[in-house]
Amino acid sequence: MAKCNTTSAHEVARIFNLKTGTALLIRSDRKVLRRNLVSGQWQAFRNIKADVSIEAFIAHRLNDLQGHWVPLRRGMIPSFDSISRMERDGIAEATDGCEHIEPDATCIHGFPAWTDVALRHGLSG
């Protein structure tokens, strides 16, 4: 588990990919953390390259509309318990908030169900 803020670094931004369900937290020390959907913890993921500014790293993603990155808002990511419930009930929510879709389907906007995202995260670790 990695900390969002340390004595020498603070959180700069949190961004979320609607297409993959990946949530990233960017820190002022150029470390990028990725949220594990199962544990809910932030984990060390990568470092921003020395020749790219932190601002550019974030803007590059948010400005690319085809990339489907958005600022991560509180409550956007369901708990693992909620995702398990969607799987059990056979009624899921999509990463963009669309409700009542099949657990293995995408919503009308083309975004996956959380249950599908969790499965892929589980497989890739």
Least separation in angstroms between CB 105 and Zn ion: 11
- Tell me the residue ranges of DSSP E strands in 48-102: 69-71
Written as six digits, the tokens of 93 are 């929510």
Least separation in angstroms between CB 74 and Zn ion: 19
Q: Which residues pair with 70 in a beta bridge?
A: 16
Looking at the Cβ atoms of 15 and 107, the one nearer to Zn ion is 107
CA distance 13 to 18: 16
Q: Is the dihedral of CA 94, 98, 99, 105 positive or negative?
A: negative
Least separation in angstroms between CB 26 and Zn ion: 26
Q: Is the dihedral of CA 101, 104, 107, 113 positive or negative?
A: positive
Looking at the Cβ atoms of 21 and 57, the one nearer to Zn ion is 21
Residue 70 sits in the site that holds Zn ion (CB under 5 A): no
Residues 98-117 that bind Zn ion (CB under 5 A): 98, 107, 109
By CB under 5 A, name the binding residues for Zn ion.
94, 96, 98, 107, 109
